Amino acid sequence: MTAVAGRDPGAASGPDGAGRGSGGFDAVTGVGALRLANPVLTASGCAAAGRELGALYDVAALGAVVTKSILRAPRSGRPTPRMAETPSGMLNSIGLQGPGIEAFLAKDLPWLRDAGATVIVSVAGNDATEFAELAGRLAAEPGVGAIEVNISCPNVANRGLVFACDPVSSAEVVRGVAGAVAGRVPVLAKLSPDVTDVVAVARAALDAGADGLAMINTTLGMVIDTDTLRPALAGITGGLSGPAIRPIAVRCVWQVHAAMRAGALRPAPIVGIGGVRTGRDAAELVLAGACAVQVGTATFHDPQAPWRVGRELADLLAARGFDRFTDAVGHAHEALARHLEQEAPR
């Protein structure tokens, strides 16, 4: 650790006072056994399978491409309208639209492999069996680096209750996936912020065999169109994403990482997601405890965002005196502890 505690966080200089770019900065990180050349990834559902981004830049330069959640069968998603703008964010009720696993294996995965991308495949299902079946098939495919388990979808067997909102259902899905994957690739459980105790769901997922956590998925919201006087989305409610949810994401990452530091939770990699538009935004999640960051909504209006954020994050951390990305992970916990110690009455 080379960052200097108490240094003006706005000072663009290294620990020795010298200005530094990202040139010598070591950006390598990892989630479980998966090594990532840089810590910034795409977020599921916001860059399909990376092909559109591949037309603009080299997707192999990203930390990883995280695919749209893959289902067993093709699905057309929910009725339109299914997008609404909100201040500092957007609301979507796309549902899990996609071509299904056969099309993914036939078209998208070979493209990602040829592009040299690090690939994390997101899976979703109607029940725990579907998740496990998909994950088992995908883990056997060359080029799949990790599985992200999107448990923020309705459990058909349990009155449509979202798996991620219940520790028992979350554990059931993750246990099935971890069993089917059998250690071949890391398994990340993607958590929802729409819970009273995110640490409890994180514990359930880790105890069930997840190698790491991805947090957060969108948070449930609603917009009413004051011209039509009806809900703006055909699905009535939708998932809120974008800068509006970043403080929630930072809070979730902070709470889970704090529980790990306190020994209340098994230490495991956390991938931070929510409202990241810039390297500064990403740095908040990293300092809170994320060892990698995903960029979602920002990609829609700036397809370069995942690549740009990686560069900005490296510059920012190097300027704060970090030689290695991994030294910055969770640093805000140490900085706070030191600050409180200095403030304590003697």
Ligand X SMILES: Cc1cc2nc3c(=O)[nH]c(=O)nc-3n(C[C@H](O)[C@H](O)[C@H](O)COP(=O)(O)O)c2cc1C
The distance of closest approach from Cβ of residue 24 to ligand X in the complex, given in angstroms and rounded to an integer, is 29
The distance of closest approach from Cβ of residue 96 to ligand X in the complex, given in angstroms and rounded to an integer, is 6
Instruction: Please tell me whether residue 128 adopts helix, strand or coil conformation.
Output: helix
The distance of closest approach from Cβ of residue 242 to ligand X in the complex, given in angstroms and rounded to an integer, is 5
Report the residue number, 115 or 305, with the smaller CB distance to ligand X.
305
Whether residue 81 has a cis bond before it, omega within 30° of 0: yes
Report the residue number, 29 or 122, with the smaller CB distance to ligand X.
122
The distance of closest approach from Cβ of residue 48 to ligand X in the complex, given in angstroms and rounded to an integer, is 10
Q: Give the residues lining the site for ligand X (CB under 6 A).
A: 43-46, 68-69, 92, 94, 96, 122, 150, 190, 217-218, 241-242, 245, 273-276, 295-297
Report the residue number, 185 or 282, with the smaller CB distance to ligand X.
282
The distance of closest approach from Cβ of residue 212 to ligand X in the complex, given in angstroms and rounded to an integer, is 14
Q: Which residue number places its CB atom closest to ligand X? A: 45
Q: Is 165 a catalytic residue?
A: no
Report the residue number, 305 or 328, with the smaller CB distance to ligand X.
305
Q: Give Cα separations from 120 to 9, 95, 292 (angstroms).
A: 33, 20, 13
Here the tokens at position 94 are: 């796309």
Q: Are 218 and 240 in contact (CB under 8 A)?
A: yes
Instruction: Please tell me whether residue 188 adopts helix, strand or coil conformation.
Output: strand
Give just the sign of the alpha carbon dihedral 12, 1, 283, 258.
Answer: negative
The distance of closest approach from Cβ of residue 285 to ligand X in the complex, given in angstroms and rounded to an integer, is 10
Region of residue 130 (phi > 0: left; psi between -120 and 50: alpha; otherwise: beta): alpha
Report the residue number, 260 or 295, with the smaller CB distance to ligand X.
295
Q: Are 119 and 144 in contact (CB under 8 A)?
A: yes
**Residue 194: is it exposed, middle or buried by C-beta count within 10 angstroms (0-12/13-18/19+)?**
middle
Q: What is the DSSP string of 76-117?
A: --SPSP-EEEETTEEEE---S-B--HHHIIIIIHHHHHHHT-
**Which element (helix H / strand E) includes 190?**
strand 187-191
Report the residue number, 151 or 318, with the smaller CB distance to ligand X.
151
Q: Give Cα separations from 233 to 68, 78, 95 (angstroms).
A: 21, 10, 12
Q: Which residue in 153, 165, 252, 291 is the catalytic one? A: 153
DSSP state of 43: P
Report the residue number, 191 or 319, with the smaller CB distance to ligand X.
191
DSSP state of 2: -
Q: What contacts 320, CB < 8 A, 6 or more positions away?
A: 3, 7, 9, 328
The distance of closest approach from Cβ of residue 8 to ligand X in the complex, given in angstroms and rounded to an integer, is 29
238 beta partners: 221
Q: Which residues are catalytic?
A: 153
